[in-house]
Amino acid sequence: MLWFLVILAAVAFIIIGMYNSLVRLRVRVNGAWADIDVQLRRRWDLIPNLMETVEASAGHERETLEAVVEARHRAMGARGPTE
């Protein structure tokens, strides 16, 4: 009878340990998903700022490209170093 109680107690401790491990793992998984959610929200919030920055710099880049093309065109048409 004593062996039965010892085995029963050992099985109970093993089951309790497994349950605690599963709870701990579930908490870690939920924390990891929360971290992923935070990163996705941050990325989603950055998209409008990125679009504004790109739109603002697009005009400047267009002007710069037109100036470079014009300078190249004048350089190709030059007949000497003084032109």
- Phi-psi category of residue 78: left, alpha or beta, with phi > 0 → left and psi -120 to 50 → alpha: beta
- pTM higher than 0.85: no
pLDDT 10s digits, 7-65: 999 999 999 999 999 999 999 999 999 999 999 999 999 999 988 888 888 878 888 88
Q: How many CA atoms lie within 13 A of 14 on its CB side?
A: 6
pLDDT 10s digits, 28-41: 999 999 999 999 99
Distance CA 83, CA 79 (A): 7
Domain boundaries, the chain: 41-73
Which residues lie below 8 Å from residue 77, measured CB to CB, with a gap of 6+?
Answer: 83
